[in-house]
Structure 1
């Protein structure tokens, strides 16, 4: 495989929000993302943005830019994808997300996934427009 452009992971995801500008601010406050690029359009829309967490990148755009891009809100709360992010301290991360208004879908818990994968501690949360996120930390590596 050829190398990716500098600063880009092999895979990244787009998320669409009714109020992308508010979502970007909230994702920074609740989940610890940092905005490295934000292109604003007419009517307070976000044409493109790039948010980073460690070496991961997500892109956030305004859903109304294209009618085929739906948020969970426009889809009766249906979930079309979930994102998983490794963090350093799941319990502190969960407390920060809860304080910012995240809906905690699953409280932090530790699970052993067997000798081939190891043990992780994680929790699930929904953001302000219903996208589902799973945050995890490695507790113990594979045997």
Structure 2
């Protein structure tokens, strides 16, 4: 048995609005959507380059609730791009909230963080230098707090 793929599957409070936002913020394309007669979107797929992110509206009858409804998200999605500063700026113009401006990080990436209008947190970064695992650990340990207070 082997794993062939893994997909992020986001529940949002308004899938149609989320699709529009992700298209404007990240330049993704909609692959398809499945809509119930009453208008609720049960499943949609977006192409993030060669990767797929799945979306759906809330289904409280099955315990499926959005980050907006629960007031938090325990997951951050890392979007690796060719220009983090530009993508962050584009996402903010589209309606995301800037949580952390892009900055060079100890692990060899320039990255920042935005929160989309649907409560999901996106780390957006690009490669700036090759860093060995040992060097990354040395830098992490040398950070204020020994790296203990610095989330992804």
TM-score above 0.5, yes or no: yes
Please give the alpha-carbon distance, in whole angstroms, between the structure 1 residues aligned to 2:15 and 2:61.
13
Does structure 1 residue 110 correspond to structure 2 residue 104? yes
Q: CA deviation at 1:18?
A: 1.4
Partner in structure 1 of residue 114 of structure 2: 125
CA distance 1:82–1:66, change in 2 (3 Å)? farther
- 1:31-42 superposed matches below 5 A: 31-42=26-37
Q: How many residues align?
A: 132
Q: Select the residue among 92, 96, 99 that pairs with 1:98.
A: 92
Equivalent position SS for 2:17: helix
Does structure 1 residue 60 correspond to structure 2 residue 35? no
Q: Select the residue among 124, 134, 137 that pairs with 2:126.
A: 137
| TM-score, normalised relative to structure 1 | 0.84
Please give the alpha-carbon distance, in whole angstroms, between the structure 2 residues aligned to 1:43 and 1:127.
26
Please give the alpha-carbon distance, in whole angstroms, between the structure 2 residues aligned to 1:126 and 1:98.
9
Please give the alpha-carbon distance, in whole angstroms, between the structure 2 residues aligned to 1:47 and 1:110.
39
Considering fraction of residues, name the structure with more helix.
2
Q: CA deviation at 1:2?
A: 5.0
What is the RMSD computed on CA atoms of the aligned residues?
Answer: 1.7
Structure 2, unaligned runs of 5 or more: 133-152
Does structure 1 residue 17 correspond to structure 2 residue 6? no
Does structure 1 residue 89 correspond to structure 2 residue 78? no
Considering fraction of residues, name the structure with more strand.
1
Please give the alpha-carbon distance, in whole angstroms, between the structure 1 residues aligned to 2:97 and 2:62.
26
Equivalent position SS for 1:51: strand
Does the 8 Å contact 1:71/1:131 carry over to 2? no
Structure 1, unaligned runs of 5 or more: 5-9, 114-118
